[in-house]
C-alpha cells in the first residue's frame, strides 16, 4: 500500500518527541513492504531550532539510524498535493501541521475516492487549548487517531463516534533494546527530557533534583530549552547538563546508567490520565529500571510496581532510587518485567498492526 505521512518533522527531534514514534512506525511499514513517504515543511520549527543550535548537518544525523525512510521537505505555498497523493491509499496528518495544509488535504480527500485520510493527535491541546484545535477543518477526514482514551473521548463527544481510535505511542525496538551485559556504567541516574515550558518545573525539582542532591548520586540530564535558572538548579543539585541528545543515541546513554526517571508534564498527568508519552516506552524497551512521578495508568498499559515504580512524592522517589541502586535483584526484576511488557504489547510493530486494521476497516487500498 502507498502511504503518505504529513508530519511536523522526522529530520528533527529537537523538543519534538512525536518524531520518535513516527520514525519507528514509518520504518516498520517500510520493512513490511509498504511504500511510505514522509512530507515535512522546510521551515519546521523543530528543524530550524536544531540547525540553529547544532548546525545544519544535525538534520541529517538521524539518517544513520533510519536510512530507509524517504522524507520530502516542502514550502506550503508550492506544495503540489496532486503529485504528493498520486496513488496514495492512506495518509496520516499530524496535529502539528499547518491548518491550511489540513484543509487542503481534506479537499483532496473529497476528490479522491481511493484515499483514506486520518488526523493524528498527540497533544493536550484538544483539552487545554481547544480553540487552537478548532482551527483545523477535519470535516472531510475519515477518522482520528488519538494517543490515549481520554483524548479519543473528546473527539467522540464532538461527533466522531467510532471513527476516533485510540493509538498509543510505542517503542521502536529495532533501535531501542537492552545493552549488552558488558556495557560500562558511567553514572547512577539519567534523565532524558526537555525542561517543559514550566509545565513541570516544580515536579522536576521534587522528583529529580532534590532526590539526586539528597542521595549524592552521579546524574546527567539530556534535553533542550533549559533556561538559565534551570541550569543553575541542575548544577546546584550536582547534576551534569549534557544538552540535546539525538534520540537514536538515547539507548546508548540509557545503557550507561543504572536507573532513569520519568516526570510527566502537568497537563498530561492531570488532564490526560493514561497517556505516559513516549519516554517510558523507550526506557523500558532498553531494560533500564524506571521510577515515575505520579501519572494514572487508567488504561492498564503497564503493571505499576512491577514494570516500574511509582513515587507519589519526593521522599518516596528517594526511597525507590536508593532501593534500586542498592538491591541488584530489584533492579534486574524491574528491568526484565518492563522489557517483557513492551515487547508483548507496546512496540511500533503492534501499532502498525493497529493502523493497518483501521485502514482495512475504512477500506483503504481497495
Residue 5: is its pLDDT beyond 70? yes
Q: Confirm if 140 and 107 have CB atoms less than 8 A apart.
A: yes
Distance between CA atoms of 282 and 288, rounded to whole angstroms? 9
Determine the pLDDT at residue 366. 62
Question: Hey, is 275 helix, strand or coil?
Answer: coil
Distance between CA atoms of 59 and 54, rounded to whole angstroms? 9
- Reference 307, options 329, 292, 322; nearest CA is 292
Q: What integer is the mean pLDDT of 340-346?
A: 98
Contacts of 305 (CB under 8 A, 6+ apart): none
pLDDT tens sequence across 261-319: 999 988 777 777 888 889 999 999 999 999 999 999 999 999 999 999 999 999 999 99
- Backbone CA torsion sign across 221, 223, 228, 233: negative
Q: Confirm if 196 and 265 have CB atoms less than 8 A apart.
A: yes
Distance between CA atoms of 21 and 94, rounded to whole angstroms? 12
pLDDT tens sequence across 72-84: 999 999 999 999 9
Q: Confirm if 6 and 26 have CB atoms less than 8 A apart.
A: no
Cβ–Cβ contacts within 10 Å for residue 331, how many?
A: 17
Task: Give me 209's grid cell.
Answer: 533534583
Residue 365: is its pLDDT beyond 80? no
Q: Confirm if 343 and 17 have CB atoms less than 8 A apart.
A: no
Question: DSSP letter at 296?
Answer: -
Q: What percent of the chain has pLDDT over 90?
A: 89
Cβ–Cβ contacts within 10 Å for residue 273, how many?
A: 18
Determine the pLDDT at residue 125. 78
Residue 31 dihedral angles phi and psi, to the nearest 5°: -65, -20
How many helices (H) does the chain have, and how many strands (E)? Answer: 16, 13
Domains of the chain listed by start with CATH number: 2-170+347-362 (3.40.50.2000), 187-345 (3.40.50.2000)
- What is the per-residue DSSP string for 160-179? IGGGEEE----B-TTT--PP
pLDDT tens sequence across 90-127: 999 999 999 999 999 999 999 999 999 999 999 877 77
How distant is the alpha carbon of residue 221 from its chain centre?
18
Distance between CA atoms of 93 and 96, rounded to whole angstroms? 9
Distance between CA atoms of 103 and 210, rounded to whole angstroms? 47
Distance between CA atoms of 289 and 333, rounded to whole angstroms? 9
Task: Give me 52's grid cell.
Answer: 540553529
pLDDT tens sequence across 210-254: 999 999 999 999 999 999 999 999 999 999 999 999 999 999 999
Please name the residue ranges forming H helices in the chain.
Answer: 18-31, 45-54, 81-84, 99-111, 125-128, 130-133, 149-155, 201-204, 210-215, 228-236, 250-255, 266-271, 278-285, 314-326, 328-345, 348-362
For 40, the enclosing helix (H) or strand (E) is strand 35-41
Determine the pLDDT at residue 184. 84
Determine the pLDDT at residue 267. 73
- Reference 335, options 105, 131, 201, 177; nearest CA is 177
pLDDT tens sequence across 156-214: 999 999 999 999 999 999 999 998 877 788 899 999 999 977 778 999 999 999 999 99
Determine the pLDDT at residue 277. 87
257 pLDDT tier (thresholds 50, 70, 90)? very high
Distance between CA atoms of 19 and 147, rounded to whole angstroms? 14
Averaged pLDDT of the chain: 95
Residue 225 dihedral angles phi and psi, to the nearest 5°: 65, 35
Residues in the chain: 366
For 291, the enclosing helix (H) or strand (E) is strand 290-292
Amino acid at each position: 500500500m502507498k502511504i503518505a505521512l504529513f508530519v511536523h518533522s522526522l529530520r528533527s527531534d529537537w523538543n519534538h518527541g512525536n518524531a520518535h514514534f513516527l520514525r519507528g512506525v514509518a520504518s516498520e511499514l517500510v520493512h513490511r513492504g509498504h511504500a511510505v513517504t514522509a512530507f515535512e515543511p522546510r521551515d519546521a520549527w523543530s528543524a530550524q531550532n536544531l540547525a540553529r543550535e547544532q548546525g545544519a548537518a544535525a538534520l541529517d544525523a538521524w539518517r544513520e539510524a533510519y536510512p530507509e525512510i524517504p522524507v520530502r521537505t516542502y514550502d506550503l505555498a508550492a506544495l503540489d498535493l496532486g503529485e504528493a497523493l498520486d496513488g496514495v491509499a492512506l495518509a496520516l496528518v499530524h496535529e502539528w501541521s499547518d491548518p491550511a495544509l489540513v484543509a487542503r488535504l481534506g479537499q483532496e480527500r473529497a476528490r479522491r475516492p481511493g484515499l483514506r485520510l486520518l488526523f493524528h493527535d498527540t497533544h493536550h491541546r484538544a483539552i487545554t487549548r481547544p480553540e487552537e484545535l478548532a482551527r483545523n477543518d477535519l470535516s472531510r477526514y475519515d477518522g482520528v487517531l488519538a494517543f490515549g482514551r481520554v483524548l479519543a473521548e473528546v473527539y467522540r463527544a464532538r461527533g466522531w463516534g467510532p471513527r476516533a481510535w485510540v493509538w498509543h505511542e510505542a517503542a521502536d525496538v529495532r533501535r531501542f533494546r537492552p545493552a549488552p551485559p558488558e556495557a560500562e556504567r558511567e553514572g547512577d541516574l539519567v534523565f532524558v527530557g526537555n525542561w517543559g515550558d514550566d509545565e513541570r518545573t516544580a515536579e522536576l525539582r521534587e522528583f529529580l533534583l532534590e532526590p539526586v542532591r539528597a542521595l549524592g548520586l552521579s546524574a546527567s540530564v539530556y534535553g533542550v530549552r533549559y533556561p538559565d535558572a534551570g541550569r543553575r538548579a541542575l548544577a546546584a543539585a550536582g547534576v551534569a547538563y549534557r544538552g540535546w541528545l539525538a534520540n537514536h543515541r538515547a539507548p546508548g546513554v540509557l545503557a550507561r546508567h543504572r536507573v532513569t526517571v520519568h516526570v510527566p508534564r502537568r497537563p498530561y498527568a492531570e488532564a490526560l490520565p493514561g497517556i505516559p508519552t513516549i519516554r517510558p516506552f523507550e526506557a523500558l524497551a532498553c531494560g533500564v529500571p524506571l521510577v515515575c512521578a505520579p501519572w494514572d495508568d487508567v488504561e492498564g498499559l503497564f503493571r505499576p510496581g512491577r514494570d516500574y515504580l511509582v513515587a507519589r512524592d519526593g521522599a518516596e522517589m528517594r526511597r525507590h532510587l536508593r532501593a534500586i541502586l542498592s538491591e541488584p535483584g530489584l533492579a534486574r526484576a524491574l528491568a526484565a518485567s518492563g522489557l517483557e511488557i513492551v515487547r508483548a504489547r507496546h512496540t511500533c510493530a503492534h501499532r502498525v498492526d493497529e493502523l493497518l486494521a483501521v485502514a482495512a476497516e475504512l477500506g483503504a487500498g481497495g
